[in-house]
A = this chain, B = another copy of it.
Amino acid sequence: MFAGGYWGKILRVNLTNKTYAVEELPRETANQFLGGMGFAVHYLYKELTPGIDPLSPENKLAVFPGPFTGTNVPCSSRIAFAAKSPLTGALGVALSGGYFPAELKFAGFDGIIVEGKAEKPTYIFIQDGKVLFRNAQRMWGSTTSDCQVMIKHDLGDQNVRIACIGPAGEKLSHMACIINERRAAGRKGLGAVMGSKNLKAIVVRGNQQVPISNAEALKEARSTMAKAMKASPVLYPQFSKLGTAMVVDHLSAMGMLPMNNWSETGTAPVEENIGVAKQEELKVGKEHCHSCPVGCTQQLITRKGPRAGILGEPEYESFYSLGSTTGVSDVGEISASDRLCDELGLDTMSAGVCVGFAMELAQKGLLPKEQHEGLDLSFGNATTQYELIRRMALREPGLGELLTNGTRQAAKKLGGEAWKYAMHVKGLELPAYDVRGAMAHGLNYATSFTGADHNRGYAIQEIFSVPVPYPVDKDSIEGKGALTKWNQDIGTGTCDCATICAFMLTIAMPDTIVECTAAMATALTGVTFTADDVWRIGERVNNLAKAFNCREGFSRKEDTLPWRVMHEPLKAGLSKGGVISPEKLDTMLDEYYTVRGWDKTTSAPTKETLLALNLPEAARDLYGA
């Protein structure tokens, strides 16, 4: 290892041969990409052959925690899972929290690259530098909770931490997620990548202590961050108590919480049914990730109806995807659906949007009655939603098979006008913000390399005016290209690469978080990182990821938005009449590409931009030697 923040060890696991190797993490890579998603993008760009099938053994799963993960830096137990996405065909990244990320560090590695395909269902057990390949036949088909219980028993060790897939991942649903404990690396179908490799779970356990270069300096920087967190009028007073789902009230009040597959946003109040007051009735407790003093995960127990007794941990996004956009207006039902998705290993967001999509198609006659399989596909039918989740996760013939790979593929299969109501960008279903009332957020959905993703470039300035600085006119397109770049790069530098929890950025002061990240990285690694370096890392990673997509054939035409967002104005709310017309989008894109130094026709980073970011390999790939 090289001292200071990194073990200097990357674990490379080959499932085909049941072999593993420990490789050196180059100091240069550490300095240029910091960790987490940065490392993942770096390795996948370097190692994945363009054009491969994401569900073939040629794809690789990269698993990278951040530099602070496993230390007592607040909210640092985060980890990036990445691979070429079966859902989007682009580079796919999803981050998760919990205890798995820290435990991987305790096991002595800076990250894992999983290659090949096991002959039979397998799980890998990584403990203090060693790897075992274990038979997972018995866990195959199990829910994610059961799988974790079974593995703990199988190993005779209750203290292992497990990232696993459910039946959805095994069935190669393009919406399959990866679950560790009850946290999810939810999006982009990375669970299917594990499934395609016959990899049921990655299990970690260790007793190593993360090396720190300057403990005193880290303590100081950490303390600055902790103070900034305490100073937030939102973080502890509200967020710690209510979690992300408190956002329901706010977005509903703005008229920006998408309803009924985005057809009715803002036309009726949603918070009356599923807002904080209603959530509180079912709330039983909260959970923390490792090293987190906040604890934003809210636990709700369904108290009545056929799903009574089920414990869920729905985030704001699930209140949208399994609630407002499917018309389900009961907190308990949303929570139960959320849990079912987690258990079967299906992304709650894509799954819910698929349900809403099917419901609207049924209403519009675009999904013929004979294909309804006896289900009442009316908006708001919670039992139908619950059943559809199951059918999608298990890829049951009919509706399950039709919807399991997301709205884009389903619309293509159905033909006709179905595509107009498929709420996705690049195949990734839209998150819970009706961007017809938030232009930069919309531009971000259009340009994020992962598809419509609220975890890249979240336009906090448009969604919340207080306490975040730099509030902007959310309905105006002016300056939104620059703002989107700003949001994407800061988020990638701090949250995606340093793997500081994204909620720190959206709730605390962005500038402070960047400065703290730089100071903590310096203290941890012994290499000087400035705030500019953190920004630069964010920009570098976003450029390299974009280059990955361009190498796969992505161009400007994929940087777009769903038809509805571009052609049907908001019917109500603060941004009534709002729409991101193709013209508006084009104007914003032009500005965005310009500030990014990207080509306006191809949308690719120019050679100069890539070289300026020290990405010569990408420059060579896109523009020749």
Q: How far is the CA of A143 from the CA of B387 in the complex (A)?
A: 21
B390–A285 CB distance below 8 A: no
Q: A548 interface residue, CB < 8 Å from B?
A: no
> Given A139-B284, A142-B301, A390–B344 Cβ distance below 8 Å?
no
Q: How far is the CA of A299 from the CA of B146 in the complex (A)?
A: 11
**Using Cβ atoms and an 8 Å threshold, which residues of chain B touch A142?**
284, 301, 309, 311
Q: How far is the CA of A284 from the CA of B121 in the complex (A)?
A: 12
Tell me which of B140, B153, B159, B303 contacts A141 (CB under 8 A): B303
Q: A605 interface residue, CB < 8 Å from B?
A: no
> Given A142-B311, A309-B166, A387-B306, A285–B158 Cβ distance below 8 Å?
no
A139 to chain B, nearest CB (A): 7
B284–A141 CB distance below 8 A: yes
Q: A557 interface residue, CB < 8 Å from B?
A: no
Q: A167 interface residue, CB < 8 Å from B?
A: yes
Q: A29 interface residue, CB < 8 Å from B?
A: no
Q: A16 interface residue, CB < 8 Å from B?
A: no
Tell me which of B137, B167, B311 contacts A309 (CB under 8 A): B167
B308–A137 CB distance below 8 A: no
**Using Cβ atoms and an 8 Å threshold, which residues of chain B touch A301?**
141-142
Q: A150 interface residue, CB < 8 Å from B?
A: yes
Q: A208 interface residue, CB < 8 Å from B?
A: no
Q: A369 interface residue, CB < 8 Å from B?
A: no
A285–B150 CB distance below 8 A: yes
Q: A568 interface residue, CB < 8 Å from B?
A: no
Q: A214 interface residue, CB < 8 Å from B?
A: no
Q: Which of A489-548 contact B (CB under 8 A)?
A: none
A468 to chain B, nearest CB (A): 32
A302 to chain B, nearest CB (A): 9
Q: Can you name the residue of chain B whose Cβ is closest to the Cβ of A145?
A: B145
Binary CB contact string for chain A from 149 to 181 against chain B (1 if under 8 A, 0 otherwise):
110110000110000001100000000000000
**Using Cβ atoms and an 8 Å threshold, which residues of chain B touch A141?**
284, 301, 303, 309
**Using Cβ atoms and an 8 Å threshold, which residues of chain B touch A387?**
306
Q: Can you name the residue of chain B whose Cβ is closest to the Cβ of A302?
A: B141
Q: How far is the CA of A343 from the CA of B143 in the complex (A)?
A: 14
**Using Cβ atoms and an 8 Å threshold, which residues of chain B touch A310?**
143
**Using Cβ atoms and an 8 Å threshold, which residues of chain B touch A394?**
308-309
Q: Can you name the residue of chain B whose Cβ is closest to the Cβ of A311?
A: B146
Q: A287 interface residue, CB < 8 Å from B?
A: yes
Listed by A's residue number, 28 A-B pairs whose Cβ atoms lie within 8 Å are A138-B284, A138-B285, A138-B299, A139-B284, A139-B285, A140-B284, A141-B284, A141-B301, A141-B303, A142-B301, A143-B311, A145-B145, A146-B311, A149-B182, A150-B285, A150-B299, A152-B158, A158-B158, A158-B159, A167-B308, A167-B309, A306-B390, A308-B390, A308-B394, A309-B343, A309-B390, A309-B393, A309-B394
Residues of A within 8 A of B (CB): 137-143, 145-146, 149-150, 152-153, 158-159, 166-167, 182, 284-285, 287, 299, 301, 303, 306, 308-311, 343-344, 387, 390, 393-394
- 9 more A-B contacts (CB under 8 A) besides A143-B311, A145-B149, A150-B311? A138-B299, A140-B284, A141-B301, A141-B309, A142-B309, A143-B310, A145-B145, A306-B387, A309-B390
Kindly list the 7 A-B residue pairs having the minimum CB-CB distance in the complex, ordered from nearest.
Answer: A138-B285, A158-B158, A138-B284, A141-B301, A146-B311, A158-B159, A167-B309
